[in-house]
């Protein structure tokens, strides 16, 4: 049977870890050629190795998504390698240091906005330009439940993810008629290596689980499944949407 993403070229930023890695492995398993892009070389190369061990096709691209020249170069290299770019998951992101706004450092605000907002803006700008040239594509941004609701102590992160929601909707309106489908996923708290490494995981979980009416945290594969569905033709009329994958958090 033909695999769902055979001959498709997929770019995933932040694919060296967590949600990005899970999506990269899932796309490769379905036949895609995956550009694994990350600022962290070790994590990115490990993702490629995992995909290749699984019989899939991937290549690592080192990129800092906050730098326009690097993102432009990334898209150019992908097209040089595979001839096109069909799907992009703009997923690289960072957390802020938790503090109320009066105690939040300007540098922390700048760092979070640079990666989570400017990084997504740059990736959209250069990926969409390529998709326009080739006559279509699919863009998915990793937003957050914190694109819809907020947690106190996270003013830079909340603001960056609310802005990604606005960016997603703006570009969906701009590019819908050009056969470029653009959506965002809004995950709740997902078990990623970062969370697993927390020194007091049980206490943290006791705080976070009650945010989710489903009664548990999410797994990376549960997010990857939604990304693949959104990227597929099964979601052909889903456009400009903020798709929650949050165990009901934002329903509360």
Ligand X SMILES: NC(=O)c1ccc[n+]([C@@H]2O[C@H](COP(=O)([O-])OP(=O)(O)OC[C@H]3O[C@@H](n4cnc5c(N)ncnc54)[C@H](O)[C@@H]3O)[C@@H](O)[C@H]2O)c1
Stretch of 25-33, 35-43, 102-110, 197-205 contacting ligand X, by CB under 6 A: 35-43
Closest separation in Å from C-beta 32 to ligand X: 19
Closest separation in Å from C-beta 30 to ligand X: 20
> Is 175 annotated in the active site?
no
Q: Which of residues 58-117 bind ligand X (CB under 6 A)?
A: 63-66, 91-94, 115
Residue 189 near ligand X by CB under 6 A: yes
Closest separation in Å from C-beta 144 to ligand X: 4
Catalytic residue, from 157, 160, 220, 228: name it.
Answer: 157
Residue from the set 8, 20, 138, 180 that interacts with ligand X by CB under 6 A: 20
Task: Lay out the site mask for ligand X across 146-165 (x = CB under 6 A, - = otherwise).
Answer: --------------------
Closest separation in Å from C-beta 48 to ligand X: 13
Residue from the set 35, 71, 167, 190 that interacts with ligand X by CB under 6 A: 190
Closest separation in Å from C-beta 130 to ligand X: 19
Residue from the set 192, 227, 230, 247 that interacts with ligand X by CB under 6 A: 192
Q: How far apart are the first and last CA of the chain?
A: 42
- 178 or 214: whose CB is closer to ligand X? 214
Q: Which of residues 46-65 bind ligand X (CB under 6 A)?
A: 63-65
Give Cα separations from 100 to 109, 125, 130, 151 (angstroms): 12, 32, 40, 10
Give Cα separations from 3 to 17, 49, 75, 148, 166 (angstroms): 24, 21, 24, 34, 33
Which active-site residues does the annotation give?
157
């Amino acid at each position: 049977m033909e695999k769902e993403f055979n001959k498709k070229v997929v770019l995933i930023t932040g694919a060296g870890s967590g949600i990005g890695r899970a999506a990269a492995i899932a796309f490769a398993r379905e036949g895609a050629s995956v550009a694994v892009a990350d600022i962290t070389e070790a994590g990115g190369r490990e993702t490629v190795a995992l995909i290749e061990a699984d019989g899939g096709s991937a290549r690592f691209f080192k990129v800092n998504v906050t730098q326009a020249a690097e993102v432009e170069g990334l898209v150019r290299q992908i097209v040089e390698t595979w001839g096109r770019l069909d799907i992009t998951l703009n997923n690289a992101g960072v957390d802020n240091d938790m503090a109320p706004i009066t105690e939040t450092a300007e540098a922390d605000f700048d760092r979070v906005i640079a990666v989570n907002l400017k990084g997504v803006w740059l990736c959209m700008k250069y990926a969409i330009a390529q998709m326009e040239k080739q006559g279509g594509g699919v863009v998915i941004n990793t937003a957050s439940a914190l694109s819809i609701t907020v947690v106190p102590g996270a003013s830079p992160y909340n603001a960056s993810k609310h802005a990604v929601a606005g960016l997603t909707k703006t570009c969906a309106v701009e590019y819908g008629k050009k056969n470029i489908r653009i959506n965002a996923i809004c995950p709740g708290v997902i078990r990623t290596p970062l969370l697993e490494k927390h020194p007091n995981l049980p206490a943290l979980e006791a705080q976070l689980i009650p945010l989710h009416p489903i009664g548990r945290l999410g797994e990376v594969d549960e997010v990857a499944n939604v990304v693949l569905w959104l990227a597929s033709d099964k979601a052909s009329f889903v456009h400009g949407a903020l798709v929650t994958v949050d165990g009901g958090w934002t329903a509360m």
